[in-house]
């Protein structure tokens, strides 16, 4: 349905020469692309990990989200520049048949509301579906802007409001695109998960019995809802093997229960006090 409305809005933009409708169509094209990519990604993510892809296709949702954000940034910047140019040369800009513009705006709004209803239940599943849901919400606001511009032009006769509406739609798109791209890049660059304080994690781990110190502490995200953490844990040299199992259980429980971000996938390397790794010069605190 969204694809059909996109085609209708492109035709409407050509017929009416409306920037607002063209920008809304571009935004909807991004929605169609993200929804299609999200569907393919969701299917691939169901495949089990194997020896060549130990995390399966989990990272694909982040790559897809980053690609959608880049497209949205391009469309938004182009629309903003075009809006400024049209306002500067508005004497040559004439909107043809505002009633058609209003009709296409209403059609787009109805389609977006239907998409919002469908996607709302899946919005929290992963970064990709959340991005798709927010983009459809933004696109609904774009359709509202198209309708508002048509109504104002019918009442005032000033065609320049179409460029204003196009600029408003672009301004709605850009912050969301920038935020989505930032979040995707944090995952791709393996930044520490937001809300997880590694200093607090280190301090908490070092309070576990038999633990002397913790170093080479790393935390990152494979994909939405998949935080991972690894660390070298120095323990006292007198600890027995049975005690080592208890220490590991306490370390894992600590990361699952005691922080705002639960980290179920952890890897701990236990080292006896006084042990020096052959690659010690490459290990950070």
pLDDT tens digits along 116-153: 787 776 666 566 666 667 777 777 887 888 888 888 88
- The residues near 22 (Cβ < 8 Å, ≥ 6 apart) are 9, 10, 13, 79, 166
| Residue pointed to by tokens 């323990």 | 235
- Other CB atoms within a 10 A radius of the CB of residue 267 amount to 11
As given in the structure block, the two tokens for residue 237 are 């040299």
User: Environment class of residue 70 by beta-carbon count within 10 Å: exposed (0-12), middle (13-18) or buried (19+)?
Assistant: middle
Q: Phi and psi at residue 123, in whole multiples of 5°? A: -60, -30
- pLDDT band at residue 164 using 50, 70 and 90 as cut-offs: confident
CATH 3.30.70.1350 residue ranges for the chain: 198-282
**Strand-pair partners of 198:** none
Contact 128, 57 (CB under 8 A): no
Q: Is the pLDDT of residue 114 over 90?
A: no
Which of 83-92, 95-104, 221-230 is predicted with the least confidence, judged by mean pLDDT? 83-92
CATH 1.20.1510.10 residue ranges for the chain: 2-188
- pLDDT band at residue 281 using 50, 70 and 90 as cut-offs: low
Q: What is the CATH number of domain 2-188?
A: 1.20.1510.10
Calpha distance 106→156 (Å, rounded): 20
Max mean pLDDT among 23-32, 118-127, 191-200, 253-262 falls in 191-200
| pLDDT at residue 93 in the model | 58
- Other CB atoms within a 10 A radius of the CB of residue 92 amount to 6
CATH 3.30.70.1350 fits 198-282, yes or no: yes
| pLDDT at residue 152 in the model | 86
Cα–chain center distance at 189: 14
Q: Once rounded to an integer, what is the mean pLDDT over residues 236-249? A: 89
Q: Is the pLDDT of residue 179 over 70?
A: yes
Q: Which of 167, 163, 147 is nearest to 155 (CA)?
A: 147
Q: Once rounded to an integer, what is the mean pLDDT over residues 229-254? A: 91
Q: Is the pLDDT of residue 1 over 70?
A: no
What's the chain look like in SS3?
Answer: CHHHHHHHHHHHHHHHCCHHHHHHHHHHHHHHHHHHHHHHHHHHHCCCCCCCCCCCCCCHHHHHHHHHHHHHHHHHHHHHHHHHHHHHCHHHCCCCCHHHHHHHHHHHHHHHHHHHHHHHHHCCCCHHHHHHHHHHHHHHHHHHHHHHHHHHHHHHCCCHHHHHHHHHHHHHHHHHHHHHHHHHHHHHCCCCCCCCCHHHHHHHHCCCCCEEEEEEEEEEECCCCCEEEEEEEEECCCCCHHHHHHHHHHHHHHHHHCCCCCCCEEEEEEEECCCCCCCHHHCCC
């Amino acid at each position: 349905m969204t694809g059909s409305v996109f085609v209708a809005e492109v035709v409407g933009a050509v017929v009416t020469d409306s920037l607002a409708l063209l920008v809304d169509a571009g935004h909807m094209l991004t929605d169609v692309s993200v929804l299609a990519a999200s569907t393919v990604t969701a299917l691939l993510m169901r495949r089990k990990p194997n020896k060549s892809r130990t995390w399966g296709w989990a990272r694909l949702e982040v790559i897809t989200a980053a690609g959608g954000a880049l497209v949205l940034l391009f469309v938004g910047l182009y629309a903003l520049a075009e809006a400024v140019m049209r306002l500067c040369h508005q004497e040559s800009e004439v909107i043809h048949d505002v009633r058609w513009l209003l009709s296409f705006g209403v059609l787009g709004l109805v389609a977006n509301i239907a998409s919002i209803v469908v996607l709302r239940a899946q919005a929290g599943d992963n970064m990709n579906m959340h991005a798709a849901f927010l983009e459809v919400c933004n696109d609904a606001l774009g359709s509202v802007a198209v309708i508002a511009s048509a109504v104002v032009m019918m009442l005032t006769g000033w065609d320049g409001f179409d460029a204003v509406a196009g600029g408003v739609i672009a301004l709605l798109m850009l912050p969301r695109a920038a935020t989505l791209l930032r979040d995707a890049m944090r995952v791709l660059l393996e930044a520490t998960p937001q809300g997880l304080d590694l200093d607090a994690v280190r301090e908490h781990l070092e309070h576990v019995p038999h633990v002397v110190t913790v170093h080479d502490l790393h935390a990152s995200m494979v994909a939405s809802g998949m935080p991972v953490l690894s660390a070298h844990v120095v323990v006292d040299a007198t600890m027995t093997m049975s005690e080592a199992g208890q220490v590991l259980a306490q370390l894992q429980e600590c990361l699952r229960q005691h922080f705002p971000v639960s980290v179920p996938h952890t890897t701990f390397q236990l080292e006896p006090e006084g042990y020096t790794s052959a690659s010690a010069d490459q290990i950070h605190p």
